[in-house]
Amino acid sequence: MSDVLAFTIEGVPPSGNRASRIGLRGAYTPREVIEYRERIASIAFAEIVRQKFPRAEWFTLEVTAYNVRSDCDNLCAEILDGLQGVVYESDHRVIDLHVRKQKDKAGTRVAVRITHADAIAAGYEKAPRAKRVALRDAT
């Protein structure tokens, strides 16, 4: 049993700024975005079972995108949404997020590393804002 869950999503992620479109019948999410989120959830669930990743309340995420042209914030939105309901109940449980983009010859992919942060976040939710910032910066 490990406090770290790591997996890779192969292929080009859809552009996050197209995640919600407004059409003739109102707002909708394009099929490619839905399928990408479902693929993230499926891979994460399989790795949770394989790695025996225990439940926790708080998490940190490291996202490394290889050979990806998406903006970091749009990329993270899709990753966070895909993990919601599988790794955590809501993405507000992620207290630390690191994103980087790199170039290499191994192809387009996104590597995700999730770590338990319960020890870091002890008292985080009830602490005044200044203390929450100090707790966050201590990591």
Looking up residue 62, the CATH number of its domain turns out to be 3.30.1330.70
**Long-range pairs of 41-48 with CB within 8 A, sequence gap ≥ 24:** 41/82, 41/83, 41/85, 41/86, 43/7, 43/9, 44/5, 44/7, 44/82, 44/83, 44/86, 44/87, 44/112, 45/86, 47/5, 47/6, 47/7, 48/5, 48/86, 48/87
- How many domains, in total, are found in the chain? 1
Q: How far apart are alpha carbons 13 and 30 in whole angstroms?
A: 13
**pLDDT of 44 higher than 80:** yes
Percent share of the chain, pLDDT over 70: 79
**pLDDT of 104 higher than 70:** yes
Query: 5 or 121: whose pLDDT is higher?
Result: 5
Query: 76 or 130: whose pLDDT is higher?
Result: 76
Given its phi and psi angles, is residue 99 left (phi above 0), alpha (psi -120 to 50 degrees) or beta? beta
Q: What is the model's pLDDT at position 27?
A: 74
**pLDDT of 129 higher than 60:** no
> The whole model's pTM is what?
0.80
Exposed/middle/buried for residue 103 (C-beta within 10 Å: 0-12, 13-18, 19+): exposed
Q: How far apart are alpha carbons 113 and 39 in whole angstroms?
A: 16
Give the residue numbers spanning the domain of 13: 4-137
Identify whether the C-beta of residue 31 lies closer than 8 Å to the C-beta of residue 73.
no
Confidence tier at 47 by pLDDT (50, 70, 90): very high
